Amino acid sequence: MVGSGCSATPVSRSAEPRPIGVFDSGVGGLTVLAALEQALPTESFVYLGDTARLPYGTKSAASVERYALQCAAALVARHVKALVVACNTASAAALPALRQAYPDMPIVGVISPGAKAAVAVTRNRRIVVLATEGTVRAGAYQNAIAQLDAHASVMAVGCSVFVALAEEGWGEGDIAERVARRYLGDLFNRDDAPDTLLLGCTHFPLLRRTLAAIVPAGVSIVDSAQTTAAAVAALIQSDPASADQRGRSTFLATDSPERFARVGGLFLGRPIQAAVVERVDV
């Protein structure tokens, strides 16, 4: 089980405050970073977007696991005190390998927090998960929700084109709406329609307005950003940043800092200057 399955292993203090590492296949995980910054304003973060190998959702589980281990190693080399896997596909495929590689490192994925958020809001216990092909194939959300509510009905829909739309900054408009309608079909126009739509990819919040416009008014749309931030806050209680300091975020990308900054600002909710994005190889 992602997130809740890891224990709050104490982290030794050092003279210099240690940041929290966050990684995703691209810029989608910046939605999680935004929630982390809001929930933990005194903490510093190092965000790594593996934009050179985007998308993860169409890759094999073995490839995603390898990529995740490489991203984690790059962040651990920067002395992070915890890891946040802000990618649903990597959370589904790589958490066991990450925890084996770094047994003393607190590690949080986004699937368990997202499942908890969906189970908390659904009224008819029917949930649709929009995710990448890799996350759907792994059955990650189906399993996580079943552990929370064995009687919940879950339908997972692979929506990998949404990742490309989000990365291009095309979360709204005619193209996004047509793709969304194609994916959802008549799912919400039947007697046993679900009442909850779970965004099972951190890229998908950029399409939230488009989705809200085409599903019935009573459907709840949830993602894992806020609940993931809460899980991280609980996990680092043994090593919090000083209350009198202000945290800062550092950005790394494996391809084109200019593109990362341009599109990433949409996800983070504030501008990112390309000059502050460091290009790295992992």
Per-residue pLDDT tens over the stretch 237-254: 767 776 667 889 999 999
- In the chain the first and final C-alpha atoms are separated, in Å, by 27
Mean pLDDT of 160-186: 92
Per-residue pLDDT tens over the stretch 82-93: 999 999 999 999
Q: What angle do CA 236, 44, 252 make, to 5 degrees?
A: 120
Last residue within a domain, chosen from 177, 203, 224:
224
Whether the predicted pLDDT of 267 surpasses 70: yes
CA dihedral 148, 56, 69, 201 (to 10 degrees): -30
Instruction: State pTM to two decimals.
Output: 0.85
- pLDDT of 165 reads 92
Backbone region of residue 139 per phi and psi (left: phi > 0; alpha: psi in -120 to 50; beta: other values) = left
What's the mean pLDDT when you consider all of the chain? 91
Domain hosting 194: range is 112-224
Question: What's the CA gap between 90 and 109, in Å, rounded?
Answer: 8
Sheet holding 126-131, edge to edge: 153-158, 126-131, 196-199, 220-222
Give the active site residues. Answer: 87, 201
Mean pLDDT of 52-66: 93
Residue 30 sits in the same domain as residue 61: yes
How many domains does the chain fold into? Answer: 2
- pLDDT of 15 reads 52
- pLDDT of 244 reads 65
Contact 140, 5 (CB under 8 A): no
Residue 217 sits in the same domain as residue 263: no
